[in-house]
Structure 1
Amino acid sequence: MPSSDPLPPKEGALFRKLLKCYELKQYKNGLKLAKQILSNPKYMEHGETLAMKGLTLNGLGRREEAYKYVRLGLRNDLRSHVCWHVYGLLQRSDKKYDEAIKCYRNALKWERDNLQILKDLSLLQIQMRDLEGYKETRHHLFTLRPSQHASWIGFAMSYHLLRDYEMANNILETFSQSQTSIEAHDYRHSELLLYQNQILIESSRLEQALDHLIKYNAQIVDKLAVRETMGDLYIQLQQHEMAVPIFESLIRRNPENVLYYEQYLSARQVSESSAVVAVYREFQEKYPRALCPRRLPLNVATGSEFRTVADEYMRRGLRKGIPPLFVNVRTLHQESEKASVIEKLTLHYFENLSRSGHFSRKDADSGAPVEPASALVWTALFLAQHYDYMRDTDRALEYINVAIDHTPTLIELLITKGRIFKHAGDAVEAYVWLEEAQSMDTADRYINSKCAKYMLRANMVQEAEEICAKFTREGVSAMDNLNEMQCMWFQTECALAYQRMGRWGESLKKCHEVERHFAEIVEDQFDFHTYCMRKMTLRAYVGLLRLEDVLRQHPFYFKASKCAIEVYLRLYDKPLKLEAAIEEIDIENLPPSELKKLRSKQRKAKKKAELESAQAAQAQVKREQHQKSKQQASQETDPDAPQLDELVAEKLERTDEPLERAIDFLKPLQQLAKERIETHLLAFEVYYRKNKLLLMLQSIQRARVVNKAHPEIHSCIIRFMKSLSSAFKQQPLNEHVQKVLNKATEELIGSKTLQELNDEFIAKHNASILHLYEGARSLYELDSSKKDTAINLVTSFNQNKIRLEEAIKVYTALKDGNVFGECGKEASAYQQACQQRFQYARIFRNIEELEAQLQEKEAAKLRAEEEQLQLNHIDSSETVLVSATAVAAS
């Protein structure tokens, strides 16, 4: 690269060696070369050498020194494209892509046609989705190097991403025609043709896309993609007779692909249920071992035809003993008629199998072979799963107990029983059954993971970590290793468990770890920008870019973000520092007897805290050692990677700006999860606490677009109107803001008062407990003197019409006192009422009863262990006696 401040031949040779050492990652040798140049008094302030010295130091992980030397070099030579380029590389290594782009643009001012700078700039622009800038850079590269394949491909892709399909297709067409020699089975050329075809399809030029496939069919290596695309194009172009043989051959190739059957039916133009079932019958005869043609008719068949098809499918599954049989037909339960037919069929099977060993009396009378003994077990399991799905816990337990009595060693039965208790609200009993299932097969990773998940649902984090430690790397704590492996299901469940336990810092730590995983996934795409261009995997590359754009739509991210926002809102409402101050004030006013009890309790808590702190210190030492080794390994593999700050639970839970941290999690949800109403309800809660009227209004309006009838929207409107009226009283608002708010008020409540609006809402939705809960909440919000009326609204609701989740929500609100104020008596009465309705739900049961059950279980366990010890003692005595007899006889 030509320099603005050239060195003499000797130093110039050293500088070129320095560049070579950096490329080869020989950083220590590079520092020696830089020192030789800078030791010359004439060149001790040479900007480019100082900049390269800083870049080399960055490779060794000495970031502060690196920035110092690079900035010094830039200050000494502001017109050097090398210095600006190096500064951009340094910013890029710290993931400051916007700053790096500015540096590259400054470098191009002094060296406009530098290929390396242009390539680096294009990578950052596509990473940041600056598509217009990317197009300009790729055009510049194309004009400089028109003979390179990557120049053409990058230039075409820049137009494709901007949805200028015609220009992208013209560039690729010109490039294809310019290629003279094409080797047989040239995969890169094949992928280029398929990518061009994808552009034609996205531009809705379907006939041209079909002609393109037919023309270049011989040059395309991926024949499966050709057939799938051609069949789809024929259907869209209404040339159904051409599509039928294509999808017949595709089904022959893979008879388990659901999409092939759907497109085949579309090509055959078959829509009536009986005709569709007849088509599937044909495929059942052709492919007797395939599951798809047997399962798919259940989606369309109705009436007696559905009963016949379901009978065949269910018998086959129960006879073979297919564990996920219920999961396969679970979607059919959304239609009450089909669910009723399945229930009747299965009950009929269970009755006849118990009596004669056949699925029906007709089979028994005709002398058909007896079904396998396991069929009864699988039928009982299916019935248990069915009634569990219908939330009939008693009948589900009845059938699962029958199955366990019949075959107590079948692990699926124990897992299902645990799931039944989970749905019934007893997470602890559910974990007990999963632990028993896990003990039967400790080498099964699925059962271990399930057991760990149920432990976390029961707030047993340490036990879950011990279970997962069986499959993590030795020498590292399971929690750290799971974080390294980006095991997000475990981390999200951990975050929710810590949230339920009130360990806010630990919960936030897990949420931030999940957020970092998604940030890492976004960063990882950087490696593919050049790789995919070089390998010509262009369709997969475009799919990757589009996936990364909506990455944070993933359920794991939503769950972690929702948890983090709720925790930050709680920390804003009740800061931890204030709680400690309140506790000290209360101690001064306590009577002597209570104070003595409290001091004793504090001493025990202090001892426990000291023990926990000692354990935490040991864990911290191990964690620091692991972190140190991890950093060393990362520097060896990627020396430019920035080191992230360690997440400390205590710091996270004592943040000074909880609402700002909540907004950091909220913004991606508002962009990518706007179809979920929880996003907008959380946004309202955040902006309500920040007293942002327009943003509160925006959240309400977006929530109404998603689901206008959602009950929580009503209480949001009431609180918004109260905030609005108090804002009017405090100070006059901007004229334009006032106009917007007045219009919104008219749309939301019209001419009614808030009390009238709330009374009308309660009267209209008196059949829904969730609506009544929000109405009662608003009633108390508007007039705290109507507390008894508000509580009576929710507690007097018919218990037979309420679901477990709804009852828990009401009971939690009464017990915590956050919604209706202090109401201990009402909470106890509601708990007793719910205990009769939900007898298995642990949250509604008395502590004394639970402790008695626990003691009884422990006593039974001890008795079993003693009996086992006695049996072992008897066996060993008999063995000794037999051996002594044998010795005497000999």
Structure 2
Amino acid sequence: MPSSDPLPPKESAIFRKILKCYEMKQYKNGLKLAKQILTNPKYTEHGETLAMKGLTLNCLGRKDEAYDHVRRGLRNDLKSHVCWHVYGLLQRSDKKYDEAIKCYRNALKCEKDNIQILRDLSLLQIQMRDLEGYRETRHQLFKLRPSQHASWIGFAMSYHLLGDFETANSILETFRQSQSLNETYDYKHSELLLYQNQILQESGNIDKALKHLEDFSAQIVDKLAVKETMGELCLKLGKFSTALPIWEGLIKRNPENTLYYQKFIEAKQTKDSDEIVNIYKKFQSEYPYSICPKRLPLNVANGDRFSEIVDDYLRRGLRKGVPPLFVNVRSLYQHDDKVKVISELIHGYHNSLKSSGHFSNADKEAALPQEPASALLWTLYFMAQHYDHLRDTTKALEYINAAIEHTPTLIELFVTKGRIYKHAGDLVEAFKWLDEAQSLDTADRYINSKCAKYMLRANMVKEAEEICAKFTREDVSAMENLNEMQCMWFQTECALAYQRLERWGDALKKCHEVDRHFSEIIEDQFDFHTYCMRKMTLRAYVGLLRLEDVLRQHPFYFKAARCAIEVYVRLYDKPLKTEQQVEEFDTENLPPSELKKLRNKQRKAKKKAELETAQAVQAQVKKEQHNKSRQLQNQDGDPEAPQLDELVPEKLARPDDPLEKAIDFLRPLQVLAKECIKTHLLAFEIYYRKNKLLLMLQSIKRAKSLDPIDPNLHTCIVKFYKALKVNGEINEHVRTVIDKETKLLFDGRDADAMNQDVLKKFPNSFHHVLQVARCMYELDATKRNTAVQLVMSFDFKRLTLEDATLAYNYFTTGVFGVCESSANEYKVKCQQRFPHALLFKDQQSCENHMENVKVEWDNDDQQ
């Protein structure tokens, strides 16, 4: 369509050259050509030229000038589709997708059949999951370009994503029939058929899906996918006799795939454990070098049969020296009878290997060859892990020390010893042994990462950064490089370490960095919308879209979000003072001598802060230079992404509205992690502080639907009861809803009665007892001694380290008010129960221990 402000032939030819320069990424030439038009007095305000100049400036990183030119161009030519399209491209480069969509729609009003604008619009619609709009746009593209493959595929996919499987299938079927048939079928045609079959399966038409697969299996290149899908469909249809040879053939193809064995047994239609074990025995003889048929029968075998199979399995692993042998059988420890069998066998191996070099006296009497000398070492290693899993620290240390004495150069032994100390509660000693393991092989990135993780658990953030620096880029700090690499395990552990150290701003910085990583991953899918359609990787593309929709349910995000919410709630409860408030508070009513000391201390702190600031400025300059060099290298790339706000810990630790910031992290969890009760308990804590009664009730109901007997849920219900009593005037409509719901929730009982009921129902559950005691004090502060005594009187022999730690933290953080004597008494009891745990040791000795280990580490590092 001609422009509303057309150029004469000469300038029009120059304008076409500008478009060509933009497409060829020759931005400087484009600016020169735009100048030729704009310097002409007649066309200084030509809208489309100004818009194209702005777009070119944006590609050179001059964003403010770019917006200025594009807006001027748009004002001068509001009816130009070029100006609206360019403005949309600018908004898209700033990730303002909703605004960009509006611009594209305005551009289409000026020129409704512009292919490029429609394509750009469809990309934004699928990115924003506007599926209805995406279908309309793909329909329009289909009508304009019915000869292009992408038009058919995009049109079909729009219906598939909306759940209209029948229409999607009919479009693909019509497209398939319109293709010319060749004797040789390529990968793209194969993927198209598999995608069509996926649509048939999702529609629930299993019969049709199986027939489709049988008819077109010869044209599909991915034979493995054909067999797996056919086997699955036969099982769903109950055609077990047909499915059996398919799964048997797949096992022959890959005898280490556990899923194939499960499906084979399902096709066999047997649940008898002895019969299943015999099936695995048959596969053992067919595939003697495969591990799966030897390991899987352990899950179903019982009694003497289990003893026989596990004996053979353990002997084989110990004889060969398989380091992950214990990890492989750890899932069996859910059954006490199996644990007993394994314990008896492993002790028998140990005693017999020490005395005769055989696994048993029967082997010795049969005059079988002796086991290799390493068999004893791996037996000791297994026993250490066995007792560590059972949390018998003394025996675990005894066996791991014997193993280290036997072979002091095996890295796995030091890693296991560190793990034993970690489970015992001595994180400093745990780090010490991981560092010893790391020093034996400094080129092993796994051990390096493990060592760093243990350092972070011991709150040694700086040291962890230094150990990670061995595997990061040299020209930037390790922390910055780990952030660039999206190393989220490090950042989540860092955030938790800072939270324990009460460095709230640093903890929030790490949480926000993790949040940004997930945002970047969601943005990165933009590149795949056209690529996957062109390359016909349709099943993988649909899988990607569905993964991105639930991305934030990943454990990394959950950990970071949970940490951020807890920190923001803490900052709401106890806001940090500003520097001026701290100074005023400190200098008030101080004697002159103390005031002088304080001033000296402040002077030193100021000097140190200035030094740190100078170092930070240097680091920032380096970072800017690094970014500038990267920008120059990528100057011919896409328009640069918007600059994100710098995360400054001091600012983050003093938010204007901490609860709103916490809700920003909570929302994705409420949508994607709604099956986790902790999500709704965190939501309750936020809404409790905001005094949102209906939202508190909603959180309680959701949590109760997941686990009605959760002890923390009981605390929330009591708090809600208390909040209702405190709130005077409540809106009549809100009151109606609350009255209706609380009849079921409280069942006519008050908070004290509910508390006593929980105590009667769960007297042997420490977590329930602890929460009952907490609620008791919350309802009536005069009952503190009774509440404390309730916790103290619980049988310590049944406590785990995690239970004891939680209770001790309650005593020390003021959950039961100020009760220092009770805290000390509880600490002494816990020290007897958990002698290795640092938390329950004398603070001075812990600090000395930590300092000694740090000094040793520094000396080793210098050497």
Taking structure 1 as the reference length, what is the TM-score of the superposition? 0.94
> 1:338-737 maps to which residues of 2 (within 5 A)?
338-577=338-577, 581=581, 584-585=584-585, 587-590=587-590, 602=602, 605-606=605-606, 608-633=608-633, 635-727=635-727, 729=728, 731=729, 733-737=730-734
Q: Could you say what secondary structure the match of 1:562 adopts?
A: helix
**CA distance 1:606–1:829, change in 2 (3 Å):** farther
CA-CA distance at 1:757 after TM superposition: 2.1
Is the CA contact (8 Å cut-off) linking 2:758 and 2:772 kept in structure 1? yes
Aligned equivalent of 2:320: 320
Matched, 1:201 2:198: no
Is the CA contact (8 Å cut-off) linking 2:25 and 2:636 kept in structure 1? no
Moved more, 636-645 or 496-505: 636-645
Q: Could you say what secondary structure the match of 1:408 adopts?
A: coil
Q: Return the alpha-carbon distance in structure 2 between the equivalents of residues 470 and 480 of structure 1.
A: 14
> 1:277-288 maps to which residues of 2 (within 5 A)?
277-288=277-288
Q: Return the alpha-carbon distance in structure 2 between the equivalents of residues 814 and 362 of structure 1.
A: 57
CA-CA distance at 1:712 after TM superposition: 0.9
CA-CA distance at 1:161 after TM superposition: 0.7
Q: Could you say what secondary structure the match of 1:113 adopts?
A: coil
Q: Deviations along 1:244-291, whole A, 9 cap, x unmatched?
A: 222222111111011111111112223211111111111111111111
Matched, 1:19 2:32: no
Q: Return the alpha-carbon distance in structure 2 between the equivalents of residues 575 and 634 of structure 1.
A: 44
Among 827, 836, 845, the alignment partner of 2:823 is 827
Among 798, 801, 810, the alignment partner of 2:798 is 801
**CA distance 1:229–1:613, change in 2 (3 Å):** same
CA-CA distance at 1:634 after TM superposition: 5.2
Moved more, 592-601 or 693-702: 592-601
CA-CA distance at 1:618 after TM superposition: 3.9
Q: Return the alpha-carbon distance in structure 2 between the equivalents of residues 724 and 106 of structure 1.
A: 51
Q: Deviations along 1:732-757, whole A, 9 cap, x unmatched?
A: x3222111111122122122222222
CA-CA distance at 1:644 after TM superposition: 1.8
Q: Return the alpha-carbon distance in structure 1 between the equivalents of residues 764 and 632 of structure 2.
A: 63
> 1:738-753 maps to which residues of 2 (within 5 A)?
738-753=735-750
Q: Could you say what secondary structure the match of 2:383 adopts?
A: helix
Aligned equivalent of 1:121: 121
**CA distance 1:55–1:841, change in 2 (3 Å):** same
Coordinate RMSD, CA, aligned: 2.1
Among 760, 766, 769, the alignment partner of 1:769 is 766
CA-CA distance at 1:197 after TM superposition: 0.8
Matched, 1:63 2:63: yes
Among 832, 835, 838, the alignment partner of 2:834 is 838
**CA distance 1:183–1:45, change in 2 (3 Å):** farther
Write the letter of the residue equivalent to 1:839.
Answer: P
Q: Return the alpha-carbon distance in structure 1 between the equivalents of residues 259 and 783 of structure 2.
A: 58
CA-CA distance at 1:795 after TM superposition: 2.1
Is the CA contact (8 Å cut-off) linking 1:255 and 1:292 kept in structure 2? yes
Write the letter of the residue equivalent to 1:767.
Answer: N
Aligned equivalent of 1:758: 755
Higher relative contact order (CA 8 A, sep 6+): 2
Is the CA contact (8 Å cut-off) linking 2:93 and 2:640 kept in structure 1? yes
CA-CA distance at 1:763 after TM superposition: 3.3
Aligned equivalent of 2:159: 159
Q: Could you say what secondary structure the match of 1:216 adopts?
A: helix
CA-CA distance at 1:690 after TM superposition: 1.1
Q: Could you say what secondary structure the match of 1:576 adopts?
A: coil
Q: Deviations along 1:620-668, whole A, 9 cap, x unmatched?
A: 4433433443444455543332222222222211221211111111100
Moved more, 849-858 or 142-151: 849-858
CA-CA distance at 1:158 after TM superposition: 0.7
**CA distance 1:485–1:792, change in 2 (3 Å):** same
Q: Return the alpha-carbon distance in structure 2 between the equivalents of residues 56 and 222 of structure 1.
A: 45
Structure 2 unpaired stretches of 5+: none
Is the CA contact (8 Å cut-off) linking 1:257 and 1:292 kept in structure 2? yes
Aligned equivalent of 2:267: 267
Q: Could you say what secondary structure the match of 2:418 adopts?
A: helix
Matched, 1:33 2:33: yes
Write the letter of the residue equivalent to 1:18.
Answer: I
Moved more, 595-604 or 630-639: 595-604
Q: Return the alpha-carbon distance in structure 1 between the equivalents of residues 680 and 171 of structure 2.
A: 44
CA-CA distance at 1:798 after TM superposition: 1.7
Q: Deviations along 1:183-239, whole A, 9 cap, x unmatched?
A: 614111111011111111111211211111121122111111111111111222222
CA-CA distance at 1:858 after TM superposition: 9.4
Q: Return the alpha-carbon distance in structure 1 between the equivalents of residues 743 and 372 of structure 2.
A: 70
Write the letter of the residue equivalent to 2:118.
Answer: L
**CA distance 1:351–1:583, change in 2 (3 Å):** farther
CA-CA distance at 1:769 after TM superposition: 2.0
Matched, 1:83 2:83: yes
Q: Return the alpha-carbon distance in structure 2 between the equivalents of residues 102 and 787 of structure 1.
A: 61
**CA distance 1:747–1:184, change in 2 (3 Å):** same
CA-CA distance at 1:836 after TM superposition: 0.6
CA-CA distance at 1:491 after TM superposition: 0.8
CA-CA distance at 1:182 after TM superposition: 3.1
Aligned equivalent of 1:887: none
Write the letter of the residue equivalent to 2:831.
Answer: Q
Is the CA contact (8 Å cut-off) linking 1:47 and 1:74 kept in structure 2? yes
Q: Return the alpha-carbon distance in structure 1 between the equivalents of residues 506 and 178 of structure 2.
A: 61
Write the letter of the residue equivalent to 1:824.
Answer: E
CA-CA distance at 1:715 after TM superposition: 1.3
CA-CA distance at 1:607 after TM superposition: 5.4
Is the CA contact (8 Å cut-off) linking 1:634 and 1:641 kept in structure 2? no
Q: Deviations along 1:775-804, whole A, 9 cap, x unmatched?
A: 121111111122222222212222111111
Q: Return the alpha-carbon distance in structure 1 between the equivalents of residues 107 and 856 of structure 2.
A: 78
Identity %: 67
CA-CA distance at 1:181 after TM superposition: 3.7
Q: Return the alpha-carbon distance in structure 2 between the equivalents of residues 148 and 857 of structure 1.
A: 68
Aligned equivalent of 2:228: 228
Moved more, 192-201 or 776-785: 776-785
Q: Return the alpha-carbon distance in structure 1 between the equivalents of residues 626 and 711 of structure 2.
A: 49
Is the CA contact (8 Å cut-off) linking 2:428 and 2:853 kept in structure 1? no
Taking structure 2 as the reference length, what is the TM-score of the superposition? 0.96
CA-CA distance at 1:811 after TM superposition: 0.9
CA-CA distance at 1:16 after TM superposition: 0.7
CA-CA distance at 1:590 after TM superposition: 4.7
Aligned equivalent of 1:812: 809
Q: Return the alpha-carbon distance in structure 1 between the equivalents of residues 695 and 72 of structure 2.
A: 45
Is the CA contact (8 Å cut-off) linking 1:397 and 1:420 kept in structure 2? yes
Q: Return the alpha-carbon distance in structure 1 between the equivalents of residues 857 and 731 of structure 2.
A: 72
Q: Count residues with an aligned counterpart.
A: 861
Q: Deviations along 1:505-528, whole A, 9 cap, x unmatched?
A: 111111111111111111111111
CA-CA distance at 1:4 after TM superposition: 2.7
Is the CA contact (8 Å cut-off) linking 1:635 and 1:641 kept in structure 2? no
Q: Could you say what secondary structure the match of 1:577 adopts?
A: coil
Is the CA contact (8 Å cut-off) linking 2:82 and 2:107 kept in structure 1? yes
Q: Return the alpha-carbon distance in structure 1 between the equivalents of residues 280 and 561 of structure 2.
A: 44
Q: Could you say what secondary structure the match of 2:811 adopts?
A: helix
Q: Return the alpha-carbon distance in structure 2 between the equivalents of residues 335 and 759 of structure 1.
A: 34
Q: Deviations along 1:87-120, whole A, 9 cap, x unmatched?
A: 1111111111111111111111111111111111
Q: Could you say what secondary structure the match of 2:577 adopts?
A: helix
Aligned equivalent of 2:44: 44
Is the CA contact (8 Å cut-off) linking 1:522 and 1:548 kept in structure 2? yes
**CA distance 1:856–1:514, change in 2 (3 Å):** closer
CA-CA distance at 1:145 after TM superposition: 1.1
